[in-house]
A and B are shown apart, each in its own frame.
Chain A
Amino acid sequence: MASTTTVQGATKSTPSRSWVDFVRYRTLHFVGIVVLTIASIIVLAPFVWTLATSLRLPTESFTLPPQWIPRNPDWSNYARVFDEIEFFRMIFNSAFVSVAIVVGQLTTASLAGYAFARLEFPGREALFWIVMATMMIPLQATIIPVFVLISRMGLNDTLASLILPSLPTAFGTFLLRQYFMAVPKDFEEASLIDGANQFQIFSRIYLPLVAPGLAVLAVLVFNTHWNEFFRPLIFLLSRENFTIPLGLNVLKGYMMTGSISVVLAGVVMSLVPVMLVYAFGQRYLIEGIMMGGVKG
């Protein structure tokens, strides 16, 4: 996009600038804003349409022209979601799985990240690179043996089958190691004088200092697993164990000939928790994504 000319520096007056440049700068600025506005409308349109259509009468949900602002909002579609599928149960399942994985990953990754950043032991570098190398392994390359293992453990069709294999995290270990390394060493020395042991130094001194890193990992992991589809599709069989994305897929199947407004009402409800996480934790969410790009 041509608008790079318009970064802050461009407004400083340099001798070479003439009114031609000024006009060009103004034009590009205007074009940039117009392009952004159009892009934002295109990107947001599916959200607005989803919300508006979820409030239409079931009989007119697919009636054209599309309605962007609901004239007589009809909330019955939201109630229907709970009639058609066990949506309460699915909300619970999704929340339980996501929160359990968040807590589990925060535990394993903070311990490992701390060890790699702050403890001295033989083979540390080699182990670190081995753990990092596992980040390259795609889910598909492990899922069949994990499925077999889960079945052998008698855990197939349970929420534990989703939680247990997700507890170790190479990415989380890397992320928290970065945060632990950024803590000045003076803190540890101060605590050694007081006679604290290694675990107390970790839990009382360091852990509170990397709270932003924990928040970053928590929001990223919550979003990932709240929205997860592939593993639940394979591991879960009975409806009462389904998570929300699976439930929406089933609901879409039921409503093939019925009202899409009901399905869209389900979509809207599935978005509420991630929207709340974004509203309160966007700083961490965005920081986490940027950290991958800048440091990776």
Chain B
Amino acid sequence: MGYLFLAPTILGIIVFIAGPVIVSFGLSMFRWNVFEPPRYIGMDHFIRLVGDPRVRIGFWNTFVFVVLAITLQIAVGLALALAIRQRMATGLRYYFRSAFFLPFLMSGAATGIVIGYMLHKEFGPVNYYLTMIGLPRVPWLNSPHVVIYTVVLAYVWQTMGFTFIIFIGGLSNISQEVLEAADVDGAFGWRRLWYVTLPMLSPTLLFAAVVGVIGGLQIFDQPYVMTRGGPGDASRTAVMVMYESAFKNMEIGYGSAIAVVLFIVILLVTAGQFALSKRWVFYQ
């Protein structure tokens, strides 16, 4: 009977998730452009992608993006979650909570459009106010040195509501007695935050870091809509390179090889985070 209940899920997972992952590994060893029959080439694609400048820059950009975006996502989300815990009118708390969560409802595409327009070099309101206070116009989307930070900014704006809510949940799980005990022992302010609150919150921090990094490594929507990876390759991400190889250049096998590498990177980074977590995550 149990198997009958499970059949739709298990079948679906085999056909659309587990099977395709295995096929991805297989396809990465074939040269195939859909029109001609696939040809086995062994590890050639993996050798090629190590030396492919677009792949290298795609993964490098993704690395820089993830480090900055996830750090900020956690820092800002945590700061706001801590700040909103103090005494205030219920309506005010509701306003703050909704405000910080709202961007999370927006699609990555809409975020790319809106933030892209707001950061337009000549006509965007952000540069308008910057010049008003005497600062130079920032080439948010036009400079290869700046654009990756612009992507970080757009992404953090859109997604920090998620970490914010996660941290509110984590903080509300810390027992009030522990915090009061810390108060009696004379630990408050920064000391209580550092020695009591953060260790108690560490499992939630680990969760936010793991989920954040997995999501961040797959960054695509916002930079694709804002810049299509430009200027040059300055905002091209790993997924964008995979998308272009497989679906624009019709190199199915090469695209699969990039996808396989990304998958392995995600697995290794996640495993690494869990291994490191033994040193800093504290379970009650």
Q: Which residues of A are at the interface with B, using a C-beta cutoff of 8 A?
A: 1-12, 14, 16, 24, 28-29, 32-33, 35-36, 39-40, 43-44, 46-47, 49-50, 53, 62-66, 107-109, 111-112, 114-116, 119-121, 124, 127, 131, 134, 136-149, 164-165, 167-170, 173, 198, 202, 223, 226-230, 233-234, 244-246, 248-249, 252, 260, 263-264, 267, 270-271, 274-275, 277-278, 282, 286, 289-294, 296
Contacts and interface: CB of A to CB of B under 8 A. Distances in A.
B102 A131 contact: no
Nearest to B115: A46
Contact of B8 (A134, A140, A167): A167
A24 B110 CA distance: 43
Contact of A245 (B6, B109, B118, B243): B109
Contacts of B35: none
Main secondary structure of the interface of A (DSSP, over half): helix
B105 A223 contact: yes
A33 B9 contact: no
B207 A36 contact: no
Given A8-B87, A43-B99, A119-B2, A137 B157 contact: no
Given A11-B87, A144-B27, A144-B259, A293 B169 contact: yes
Interface of B: 1-3, 5-6, 8-13, 15-21, 23-24, 27, 78-80, 82-88, 95-96, 98-103, 105-110, 113-115, 117-118, 120, 123, 125, 128, 157, 162, 165-170, 173, 176, 179-180, 183-184, 186, 188-190, 192-193, 197, 204, 207-208, 211, 214, 217-218, 220-221, 224-225, 239, 242-243, 246-247, 252, 255-256, 259-260, 262-263, 266-267, 270
A66 B128 contact: yes
Given A121-B2, A290-B169, A141 B262 contact: yes
Given A29-B87, A248-B110, A108 B218 contact: no
Given A1-B82, A5-B188, A294-B204, 15 more contacts: A14-B183, A39-B100, A40-B96, A109-B9, A116-B6, A140-B239, A145-B20, A164-B16, A228-B107, A230-B220, A230-B243, A245-B108, A245-B110, A267-B114, A293-B170
B5 A139 contact: no
A246 B99 CA distance: 26
A4 B24 contact: no
A180 to B, nearest CB: 11
14 contacts: A43-B102, A121-B1, A131-B13, A136-B270, A138-B214, A139-B218, A142-B17, A145-B20, A148-B23, A169-B9, A228-B107, A264-B114, A294-B170, A296-B207
B125 A294 contact: no
A39 B242 CA distance: 36
Contact of B165 (A8, A145, A289): A289
B88 to A, nearest CB: 7
A115 B6 contact: yes
Nearest to A67: B125
A294 B201 CA distance: 10
A206 to B, nearest CB: 11
B176 A8 contact: yes
A293 B20 contact: no
Contacts of A29: 86-87
Contacts of B6: 111-112, 115-116, 127
Given A170-B13, A290-B165, A296-B207, A267 B105 contact: no
Contacts of A274: 105-106
A292 B211 contact: yes
A1 B17 contact: no
A290 to B, nearest CB: 3
A270 B107 contact: yes
A36 B80 contact: yes
Given A36-B96, A145-B27, A271 B105 contact: yes
Contacts of B242: 140
Nearest to B107: A227
Given A263-B113, A264-B114, A134 B13 contact: yes
A49 B116 CA distance: 13
A39 B167 CA distance: 17
